[in-house]
Chain A
Amino acid sequence: MRNRLKVLRAERNWSQADLADKLDVSRQSVNAIETGKYDPSLPLAFKIAAVFSLPIEQIFSADEVAQAAE
């Protein structure tokens, strides 16, 4: 799964620690999600969407969908 977490975070000028605090997770978890090493659960994905005030599909996309769009 791909995500735009790093870009969205940079647009808001948030550090990984800032986002981790907002999501109530560890900074290492944010890093793992951003780098695509860990796919979040559905509840956490919804929480991320709520923090960025965006629909979930504007943040996450399946690898095949992202490749097709490129």
Chain B
Amino acid sequence: MAFRLRSDVPAVARAVERLYADYPLLAADQFCDFELAVQRAAGLRRWLRPQVTAHYDGDPVFEPLPLGHAFPLTEWALNWCVTTHAFEHLSLHAAVVERGGRAVILPAPPGSGKSTLCAALIHRGWRLLSDELTLVSLADGRISPVVRPVSLKNRSIDILSDFVPGAVFSEPTHDTVKGTVAHLRVPSEHVERMHETALPAWVVFPRWEAGAAATLTTLPKPDTVLELGRNSFNIQTLGAAGFQALADLVDRCDCHAFQYGNLDEAMAVFDRLAAS
């Protein structure tokens, strides 16, 4: 999946340089899947309470945001491009990581600790496929990677800074709708494998709770189908094909709920899962 990004906002350029340095670059005349422009708003909003806009193929993607939110807007717009055009995939709001050829899908609403868990896992032996979008091929059920920086919010930023000394983040953006947001650079060896698909083996619904012991609980498959369906961006659009892909996915996987309050304990649970 290839993007061409144009921006007149220096903060976007700095963030791209910091977080995407390991990614292959397109030549100017090469085909790309998505053309995205993140630019300062015209008119009054260029000067007074300046704003930034995102356009895909010339059409606005979201409402304008404060200029200081330009890089998060870029990442959100990239996610939007993928979720609205992944017609050959069932797309889920879920992180997904892989180890030993088997992928674990981590679906969860915002605030559940999904991205924190994902960011920790990719620094403890798991390969990042995506921290936000799980794409399940309708043709063969394999997960197609969308390897991009991991979005972290609020306390998670400090937690991951402590958990991964030396981790590279974008400059934090404050006062977004999600609070303070920063993006974590993906390890280069994961970027190098960004085209390697994987078969799913587990669906794990994470939930962070302060002080909670790391606990994995088996979930019935019908319940998993319903809950995963709620986390799907496009099952209704895909119709029966999307449902079959979802049901096949659940059929193939062991399904669990996962509660945790400590990252080290969580890593131990996932180590045991990988060894099973």
Whether chains A and B associate is no
